[in-house]
Amino acid sequence: MCADVAKSDTSHQPLAGKVAVVTGGGRGLGQAGALALAAAGAKVALLGRSVAALTETAGQITRAGGVALALPTDVTREDEVVAAAEAVQREWGATEVLFNNAGTALVRPFLDLDTPSLRSLLELNVVAPMVCARVFGAQMIGRRWGRVINMASIVGLVGEANLAAYSASKGALIAWTRELAVEWARHNITVNALAPGYFRTDLNAKALDDPEIGERMLKKIPLRRAGNPAELGPLLVYLASEASGFMTGSVLVIDGGQVAR
Q: Give CA–CA dist 222/255, Å, rounded.
A: 9
Alpha helices by DSSP H, listed for the chain, are 28-39, 51-63, 78-92, 115-122, 128-143, 164-184, 202-209, 211-219, 233-240
At 27 the three-state DSSP class reads coil
* 97-100, strands of its sheet edge to edge: 67-72, 43-48, 19-23, 97-100, 146-151, 189-196, 251-254
| DSSP symbols for 129-180 | HHHHHHHHHHHHHHHT-EEEEEE--GGGTS--TT-HHHHHHHHHHHHHHHHH
Strand 97-100 with 146-151, pairing: parallel
- Can 238 be counted among the known catalytic residues? no
| From 92, 99, 166, 198, the catalytic residue | 166
Q: Which residues are catalytic?
A: 166
